[in-house]
Structure 1
Amino acid sequence: MVFFMVFWLEYDVVHSYTPQHYIVGGEEGWDPVITMQGWAQGKDFHAGDVLEFIYDQKFDVAIVDKEGHDTCTVSDKSIQFFDGDDNITLAFGPNYFICSFPDICAIGLQLAINATAPPPSV
């Protein structure tokens, strides 16, 4: 019985994925003073990971489609957040975020992340 419990605990620790929590932009937060794609570079994002957007309320965040990301536009299908501290769980595949103010988005307050499947439980 003890052997089974130890084996199960080791299996569970080694074979389970814990979603990661990221503060978008690091210390600066969701702010045009840094390049968001530069912040994301080198990070390995998975579906289920949580992005926390911390921002001055003059910079909102919107979940948009690829066209909205590329053109800095919000459509009726977009989801906007205005709280200044929003947690958004990544969906599998491409995830696009922008500031809904076109001028602010155009200077770089936008982010595209492709979330892969969590590592397999072997």
Structure 2
Amino acid sequence: MATKNIFGFVLMIMFLLGSSSAKIYKVGGSNYGWTVKDDSWAEHKEFHVGDSLVFEYDQNVNDVTQVSNALEYESCDNSSPRVVYNTGHDVVTFKEPGHYYFMTSNHIQCVWGMKLDVPSPPRKINGPSRPIPPPPSSKILPSAGRIYEVGD
């Protein structure tokens, strides 16, 4: 029983240490939020799997539309979005490496530059790049030390 507790504790610590390096970024910087203003705040940042973006904007005028590819992004084509966020305070966490393309579905605002292309490579954890592993599944083990298989 003590071995199981130690193993669970070690797994929890490993998960917390691995995910504690994730960062949270407010899109547009702390002063403006997400607007048509220049998004140069993102130019020298490295985004990784596990990081999160916080979009703050006027929900009566804009939204955050995630599109699938660079062509849709460049042309402000929101006809087949992957996801549309519209609360005015949305948090998007990078769950896998790749490019994330965000724009407003307000076409005029998008053309004026209210869009964001974020490359998200895997996070490096003491060695080669690899994505952050998912949290360990929560299993309730019987206290008597017996393990039962479904169907028994």
Question: Do the structures match in fold with TM over 0.5?
Answer: yes
Decide which of 20, 23, 31 is 1:20's aligned counterpart.
23
Decide which of 59, 72, 79 is 1:75's aligned counterpart.
79
Name the structure 1 match of 2:105. Answer: 100
| Structure 1 runs (4+) greater than 4 angstroms displaced | none
2-side partners of 1:83 and 1:121: how far apart? 37
- Per mean C-alpha deviation after superposition, the further-off stretch among 67-76 and 40-49 is 67-76
8 Å contact from structure 2 (residues 65, 81) kept in 1: no
Q: Is 1:85–2:50 an aligned residue pair?
A: no
Corresponding letter in the other structure for 2:27: V
Question: Which secondary structure does the structure 1 equivalent of 2:18 belong to?
Answer: coil
Bigger CA radius of gyration:
2
How far is 1:119 from its partner? Answer: 1.4
Question: Higher strand proportion, which one?
Answer: 1
2-side partners of 1:113 and 1:99: how far apart? 15
2-side partners of 1:16 and 1:51: how far apart? 19
Name the structure 2 match of 1:110. Answer: 115
Question: Which secondary structure does the structure 1 equivalent of 2:119 belong to?
Answer: strand
8 Å contact from structure 1 (residues 47, 115) kept in 2: yes
- Which structure exhibits the higher relative contact order, with contacts defined as CA atoms closer than 8 Å and separated by 6 or more residues? 1
How far is 1:82 from its partner? Answer: 0.8
Percent identity between the aligned chains? 31
How far is 1:72 from its partner? Answer: 0.3
Name the structure 1 match of 2:56. Answer: 54
Name the structure 2 match of 1:64. Answer: 67
User: What 5-or-longer segments of structure 1 have no aligned partner?
Assistant: 1-7
How far is 1:78 from its partner? Answer: 2.6
